[in-house]
Structure 1
Amino acid sequence: MKAFYTDHYVLPLPPGHRFPMEKYSQLRDLVTQLEGIELVEAPAVTDTQILYAHDPSYLMKVIAGDLSTKEQQEIGFPWSEKMVERSRRSAGATVAAAKAALDEGLAVNLAGGTHHAYRNMGSGFCVFNDSAIAARALQKEVNSTLKVAIVDLDVHQGNGTASILQHDKSIFTLSIHGENNFPFTKEQSDLDIGLPNGCKDEDYLKALDQGLEMLDTFIPDFIIYLAGADPHEGDRLGKLDISKVGMRQRDERVFKYGADRQIPIAFSMAGGYGKEICTTVDIHFQTIQTALQFTTAS
């Protein structure tokens, strides 16, 4: 299974910044020890690909460094050329993983899941919306009739993705998230399942089963899966109470859904803000180990 990674994922941030940037290199170090993983340098997304999902005026502002202070605050990262490069690589890796998964069944971006980015603005540590870009890239560059489902299991609603793809019937957006969590104004996905604070494994997995059942009415040819680590009970921003076992069962359900129906899956790590960074890395790593079980089975 191909895993896309680059050192550009790790952005130097001001002291005390709350984004756990070190998780990417720590995850890479663990992943390199796994049998059956091929680590691939994440390519940068092209301007043309970014424009599949974003306004030209927004792209120009990001490239030129013309984002206002307020726009940078909304993103949560100060502007720098390194920030732009990181954002390009994070989206480019999901595009590359999607194309690799079409051939091989499964592929992973060791970052990505930048689902708060809107067509014309960034938000919540997200600059370019990698899932929306990758879904459109598959349709425009590989197969125009491809039906894509975006299964977003980050604890925060995929508001940017829902907004960008709202009128696109060829892409199904599913978001299972904390109802009382960021973003506090939700957008409308094709299917939203909002969960209460403190939600436990049983209710979470029931909601996922319900969501996957709805996918059967759409009949996707391809799945982009945001495997956020932040529903985990050890997450400081998550507000849900899902055990490590529950997180593994979640991943198994998604990968089994794809395997049973021979639907390729590209997945990204999305959010994770564990009280201890090692907890987040551990959950992300478990997702990749779980996926590997489905590569040998296929």
Structure 2
Amino acid sequence: MATVGLLHPGEMGAAVGGCLVSVGHEVLWDPAGRSRASTGRALAAELTGAGLDRLIAKSSVILSICPPHAALDVAGQVAAAGYAGIYLDANAISPATAEQVAGIVTAGGATYVDGGIIGPPPEVAGHTRLYLSGPQAAEVQPLFSRSPLDARIAEGPLYAASSVKMAYAAWTKGSSALLLAARAMARASGVERTLLAEWSLSQKALGQQSEAAASTAAAKGWRWVAEMEEIAASMAAAGLPAGFHEAAADLYDRASHAETPASRRPAAPEPPSSAFDTVMSALM
């Protein structure tokens, strides 16, 4: 069994760590400066608290799952600590950013493996996949054998896993942003009711989907801004228009400033329609 280091047990990271624990691996995390929420997630996933020095010394693999804007800083911290094992970056970053991360950690003595997670935090088998790429990807894949997380090798260049993640999220999160923008435009133009009526005839799911997208954008928009920027950079690098996802980044930034039950804990719950209106106001 392996010892894996996990620096940031967010919702996704803690769940991935829990998958490793469930098949017998030891997962270390550094509780220094972490929030109560992070501590609670780590305890629930049965992760083992350790100082950074012990985590670096004992871990054969370090797993980075953090907001995209923090990926380079996390890599720098690990490299500065002299880590010489396998560094798996599974963040939502462009191949170009992944290349920068690889340069940082390999200069410090580590081996880089590229990763990309598709799906929700893995709790049951069959819903979430971890794509891996690079020469040492086959060394990491068996760690997740028999766990709820389906680890797969992404065929292609070193940063293929990041490319898969970018292409997938370009549609899922990008289309949600477009749907929100369409409804906000209809509201600003005074035709929202007419649009909803037309959707009920020809696109029956879009009304509810737009409301669900608003709730999610309010809660996670702050994290998705950088992800949309990474996708825009990936599009530009491929010779494709970057404007779709630059606009999505702007929209998620606006949504992240909406005060709703999804983004805070109100004294009294707001009705769903009020929360949706708050997000729409933030967008316009």
TM-score by length of 1: 0.29
Larger radius of gyration: 2
- Normalized per residue, the structure richer in helix is 2
* Greater relative contact order (CA < 8 Å, ≥ 6 in sequence): 1
The normalised TM-score by structure 2 is 0.30
